[in-house]
Structure 1
Amino acid sequence: MPALGATEVFFSLQDEQGNSQYHTTLKSSGQEGVISITLPEAAPELKIGQNYLWYLAPIEPDGILRPDNYSVSGWVKRVKSTVSDQGSSKSAIALATEYAKAGIWYDTLEVLVTAQRLDPDNTTLANEWKDLLEQVGLDAIASQPMGEQL
């Protein structure tokens, strides 16, 4: 997320038919960085094999979400994981590597972000993060700070 100065953002998740699955307003620091959003337990469970469109936009200081506001969106597909991390003694890098090999992108990122938040001075984790983003053509944000969890 670029530095927008907005203290609130609108987040929504829709199915392929455009039906709203979940939406909310989230607090944000307004600082630039890669952010993560975790759906709450109360959100509807995403169905395996289904594609969902996520959308994120800053809310103006006057509390209005304007149609011409800057926004970002992308697709996520819920898949059945073949990676087992339950009761595992795997390192974060090993677990992230397994998710990446299985093509489970968001979980790969989540493992690396969580590990780096727990150990912010670990240069190996920072290098893995940078390498992963560069491998998928996201060089422009590879050096951005981890950002916040909304």
Structure 2
Amino acid sequence: MSAKKQPFFKSPLLGIALIISSSIIPISITPVMAGVTFKPPGAQAPQRSSGGGSRNDNICGFGTKVSNSASVTPLMPNSNIGFTVADRPTIFVYLPASKAQKALFTLQDDGSKTYYQTALTLPEKPGVMEVKLPTSVPALKTGKNYKWSLVMICTEELDTDSPWVGGWIRRVEADRSLTSKNQKPISLELISKLAETGIWYDSLSILAELRRSQPNNQALTNAWQDLLKSVNLNVIANEPLVN
């Protein structure tokens, strides 16, 4: 990271975001006039790892469209790398209706060393699933890249032909000097500023948490849709959160 960008990531805004990700401060929804739009910080993934379908299109039973998208889709920017100020960010993946009941989630460092791996039980209904890293997982290191992948288990055993998706995480440094007197309630304006400064994972996870707590809040629904549409995920922007 160049010297010019370091003050950008040490702004008080990111310190606030770090506190938000720990659910320490109160929630206050203040709608903003403009939509929530993600602006990529210019970083590119070390290698492309967006995943793909199986050579056997029917291995997971994706043939029947129940939702707008029939493909497993990572909620990621076009660059396939997202920034976070959290030590254990939350990852989101859209899952269509399928025969799969489980998936294998893997997190690796940039040297391909396995950082964390677990089998996940998938939701019964199609929609956007979140993957939270447990506290037993070592905190991600600032300035380092990490690669995650989700492989659908569509047969009795993990098949090399199974569909999978993946993406990259880079933890960036945040200003931790904020005290309680400087803490502010969460607002859509704050989330919008996070998205505008390229902090993808935290913008998404904060919005998801707020949507679950206030499912009938149209401002939150609109903000979620705006955020996904800003990274060309229009086709799944209206899909529900399912876990």
Which category describes the TM-score, using the shorter chain as reference length?
0.7 to 0.9
Structure 1 residue 101 corresponds to structure 2 residue 196: yes
Structure 1 residue 144 corresponds to structure 2 residue 242: no
Q: Distance in 1 between matches of 2:178 and 2:128?
A: 24
CA deviation profile, 1:125-147 (whole Å, cap 9, x unmatched): 00000011111211111111122
Aligned match of 1:27: 121
Q: Which moved more, 1:23-32 or 1:123-132?
A: 23-32
Contact 1:5 1:31 in 2 (8 A): no
Contact 2:123 2:242 in 1 (8 A): no
Contact 1:16 1:53 in 2 (8 A): yes
Contact 1:85 1:95 in 2 (8 A): no
CA deviation profile, 1:75-101 (whole Å, cap 9, x unmatched): 111112359998534234133223212
Aligned match of 1:67: 160
- Matching residue within 97, 101, 121 for 1:3: 97
Amino acid at match of 1:124: A
Structure 1 residue 12 corresponds to structure 2 residue 106: yes
Contact 2:123 2:129 in 1 (8 A): no
Aligned match of 1:115: 210
TM-score, normalized by length of structure 1? 0.88
CA deviation profile, 1:48-68 (whole Å, cap 9, x unmatched): 111111100122352x11111
Compared CA separation, residues 105 and 68, structure 1 to 2 (3 A): same
Compared CA separation, residues 17 and 95, structure 1 to 2 (3 A): same
Q: Distance in 2 between matches of 1:126 and 1:48?
A: 31
Amino acid at match of 2:196: K
How many pairs does the alignment contain? Answer: 147
Q: Distance in 2 between matches of 1:146 and 1:111?
A: 13
Q: Distance in 2 between matches of 1:19 and 1:100?
A: 30
What is the DSSP-based 3-state SS (H/G/I as helix, E as strand, rest coil) of the residue aligned with 2:136?
coil
Aligned match of 1:135: 230
Q: Which runs of 5+ in 1 are unaligned?
A: none
Aligned match of 1:126: 221
Q: Distance in 1 between matches of 2:97 and 2:191?
A: 28
Larger RCO: Structure 1 or Structure 2 (Cα < 8 Å, ≥ 6 residues apart)?
A: 2
Identity of aligned residues (%): 37
Query: In proportion to residue count, which structure has more helix?
Result: 1
Amino acid at match of 2:129: I
Compared CA separation, residues 56 and 85, structure 1 to 2 (3 A): farther
CA deviation profile, 1:6-52 (whole Å, cap 9, x unmatched): 22111001111111111001111143212211110111221111111
User: Rg bigger for which structure?
Assistant: 2
- Matching residue within 161, 166, 173 for 1:80: 173
CA RMSD of aligned residues (A): 2.1
Contact 1:6 1:29 in 2 (8 A): no
Q: Distance in 2 between matches of 1:4 and 1:68?
A: 15
Q: Which runs of 5+ in 2 are unaligned?
A: 1-94
